[in-house]
A and B are shown apart, each in its own frame.
Chain A
């Protein structure tokens, strides 16, 4: 049963790691807008014809 101590340490540190990632995710502003990227990914990445012409 001594293994349980190790498991507890593992589980808590793993949890803490993901918590840290989560906090980084929020603080870096990625959670600010959960709506627009969902639309944005549907647009086609067509290179702009006009710009190609002018360049």
Chain B
């Protein structure tokens, strides 16, 4: 297929072998090449395969175009980067589908790409109803969303699926919306088989039903029909208006003029009442509910022009302005249609897979093991501690449970569940730890929905729409006032000019920058952040992040290293005491409790009747006859022992008898020192708020010198909230914590960031989830967020200039409503493309994480 490339690769193969023998380094080989130059046919420069290998330019995977890392897998003269790509090639070759590679250069999808969830064949078959379009006589049609579809080779291969699976009778792609419609015979293949095959080819479909929208299609068809009718009406009205411009002979052709006017009036009926209906709908909504929208001025303009025209025709004083009106509606609809198409095209590729970064603890023999919730399968036994979220639907095993469904249903009284009952995912454990067996795989949609809607009432959530609504309301009222002023000014001088000016002002004013540019920019930035490990509840938070002036850090679980917290249980404990200690500790997911559980590996857990955790203080458990308390010195009522930066004491009491404290050793994450310093150089106020005692201070300053502007110790959860409120007086503040003792502050903060590692501390109050390993990227993310705000401001400025110029021209009567109707949608398309391109360039410039 590519002779020169083939030649290169065969030569390279022998060199690769030499390189792998370990005798020659790439540099030595390069030198050797200079001594014995080798010329490729037609080339004057000596060719050195090793040099090419060293800078990784020559050997790229035939299938996906990825670099082969000096270590290609070779099949004949074709190099592959991984076994996955090779096997896709072999499947295609075996089925005579190699034209795939002829249509485009390296069209494949890298087979090693991250997979969203591993479903078994049976589970996939159960999901089929979500994707079914039609089913009859043993045939079923399904619609799938294939995010990886990107070139004509993809279309070609995906429409040839019938060659790979004989049960598939038809497969059709929709390139723009990346959809694949498959009809298959249920007797010969199954939904699961098809998904598995697509996955093996690198075209894994998205299994989130929300991605497969059918409603949108219907709307775009309706718009197109409206556009057609508007075009028909506009064409005819213009034809009948034409004689008016040439001038009719008043004596002979008066009856024609009158007929044309009447015809125009009749034709304008479907035009205004059907094609322009949505504008009037918006107008009546404004009258009824006070919900003002961008369409209100347009409705006023259309209405004014239409009524004025009908009046002129009825009173036989003139021909009206039907031609302008028709052109106007036609161009408005064309604009709306183009805008939708542009929107679709730009959105295309932006919907990055936003997986939910949650981990559940699976009970295995001899302990628990972390597993991503997206990977949960029926039969998994999940342990849920106090305060944790139930990750999937399951059956309660062994013990009773108290579950709080406040997030999912709004019901605030916790429900008591007995063993064997079904637990629905999304509830929060409000009692002792329990175990459950998963019966239905993790429902991605439901949990992320809970996160998105649960705390729709936080301050930050309310602020954003309020700002947009207020700005656009000001904008619309200003437009209306200018339009009226223009009408009143021109009416005594020139009535036709007055009507034109009035309509043109209403048409041309465009708050698109307000309505479109920010979501466009922030959606892109938010999915970029998701790739870096920061998940925002709403894309708008990307903008808020850029406005942050203060960051408050919680200490435990954020700045300390979760993995190396070590607990030392005193040797004076009896076995029974150790068991009781482990029992109460394993209920809680506080890092210290977890460290204790870790230290007591191998001891039994006792049954627990009641459990309650008091944030910032400690926990209380009732265990048959005994009352157990675990926590700080104040909680257990012990006299404070000697603590220092290295050592921390956790006190334990059984029925009021205080035992020797457990010693906890924790370490800061020194690698964060540079990160925090970076944040500080970006002009942020850095504040530390910790519930621990002030003895930490010294060590803190040793690890993070000159970073924190303020440090607060002995902070209660309420104290963190009031500290945050104080900071918010001066500007936007972010809270970074682990969601255990700071849920209130996380909710209150403009950005509440939960740092999560291998625990199930899903905090619905938080507006963002940050993976622990991604904390180092915070400064970079902050820069990106700030730059995205600058882009939004730029588009605002551009739109302000546009509106100022256009409104001046329109109000002085220098712009016809027709031009205004063309200008309005084209300006919003231009702004959208501008915002999109600027963001794309900004994100592209950054090095990949």
Contact = CB atoms under 8 A, between A and B. Distances in A.
A33 B159 contact: no
B604 interface: no
A51 B712 CA distance: 74
Nearest to A44: B99
Given A42-B152, A46-B99, A49-B96, A36 B256 contact: no
Contact of B225 (A27, A40, A43, A49): A27
Interface in A2-43: 4, 8, 11-12, 15-16, 18-19, 22-23, 26-27, 29, 31-36, 39-40, 42-43
B421 interface: no
Nearest to A36: B175
Nearest to B222: A26
A2 to B, nearest CB: 11
Interface in B92-139: 94-96, 99, 103
A50 B163 contact: yes
A8 to B, nearest CB: 7
A32 B221 contact: yes
Contacts of A16: 232
A19 B163 contact: no
A19 to B, nearest CB: 4
A8 B232 contact: no
A15 B232 contact: yes
Nearest to B94: A50
A26 B175 contact: no
Nearest to B255: A1
A50 B163 CA distance: 8
A48 B94 CA distance: 12
Nearest to A33: B174
Given A15-B236, A51-B163, A4 B176 contact: no
A4 B217 CA distance: 42
Interface string B205-242: 00000000000010011001100110010011001000
Contacts of B94: 50
Contact of A11 (B163, B175, B224, B239): B239
B253 interface: yes
* Majority DSSP secondary structure for residues of B touching A: helix
Given A32-B174, A33-B175, A35-B175, A15 B156 contact: no
B236 A27 contact: no
B54 interface: no
Given A19-B228, A22-B228, A50-B95, A36 B155 contact: yes
A34 B340 CA distance: 14
B221 A48 contact: no
Interface in B636-695: none
A1 to B, nearest CB: 7
A26 B236 contact: no
B263 interface: yes
A26 B152 contact: no
Contact of B224 (A31, A43, A44): A31
B173 interface: yes
Contact of B263 (A8, A18, A48): A8
B228 A26 contact: yes
A43 B96 contact: no
B236 A12 contact: yes
B175 A23 contact: no
Most buried by A among B156, B228, B236, B263: B228
Contacts of A43: 99, 103, 152, 155-156
Contact of B221 (A26, A40, A46, A49): A26
A54 B730 CA distance: 76
Nearest to B228: A22
Contacts of A8: 263
B795 to A, nearest CB: 28
Given A4-B256, A39-B152, A50-B96, A19 B232 contact: yes
A36 B150 CA distance: 11
B137 to A, nearest CB: 22
Interface in B799-823: none
Interface residues of A, number: 30
Contacts of B232: 15-16, 18-19
Contacts of B155: 36, 39-40, 43
Given A40-B159, A48-B163, A11 B96 contact: no
A44 B98 CA distance: 13
Contacts of A15: 232, 235-236
B175 A27 contact: no
A36 B224 contact: no
Nearest to A16: B232
A26 B224 contact: yes
A36 B156 contact: no
Given A16-B232, A33-B174, A50-B163, A23 B96 contact: no
Contacts of A4: 256
A28 to B, nearest CB: 10
Contacts of B236: 11-12, 15
A36 B253 CA distance: 52
Contact of A26 (B96, B99, B225): B225
Contacts of A49: 96
A19 B236 CA distance: 12
B135 to A, nearest CB: 19
Interface string B729-741: 0000000000000
A31 B159 contact: no
A26 B224 CA distance: 7
B659 to A, nearest CB: 72
Interface string B773-811: 000000000000000000000000000000000000000
A40 B156 CA distance: 7
A35 B176 contact: yes
A51 B99 CA distance: 15
Interface in B143-163: 152, 155-156, 159-160, 163
Contacts of A22: 225, 228
A46 B97 CA distance: 11
A35 to B, nearest CB: 5
Interface string B66-99: 0000000000000000000000000000111001
B96 A48 contact: yes
Given A39-B152, A42-B152, A23 B228 contact: yes
B247 to A, nearest CB: 16
A48 B252 CA distance: 72
Interface string B452-481: 000000000000000000000000000000
Contacts of B156: 39, 43
Given A16-B232, A19-B232, A50-B95, A39 B225 contact: no
10 contacts: A4-B256, A11-B236, A19-B232, A26-B221, A29-B221, A36-B172, A36-B175, A39-B152, A43-B152, A48-B96
Q: Which 8 A-B pairs have the closest CB atoms?
A: A50-B96, A36-B175, A39-B152, A22-B228, A33-B174, A19-B232, A49-B96, A35-B175
Interface of A: 1, 4, 8, 11-12, 15-16, 18-19, 22-23, 26-27, 29, 31-36, 39-40, 42-44, 46, 48-51
Given A32-B220, A46-B99, A48-B95, 20 more contacts: A1-B256, A8-B263, A15-B232, A19-B229, A23-B228, A23-B229, A27-B221, A31-B221, A32-B217, A32-B221, A33-B176, A33-B177, A34-B176, A35-B174, A35-B175, A39-B155, A39-B156, A39-B175, A43-B152, A43-B155
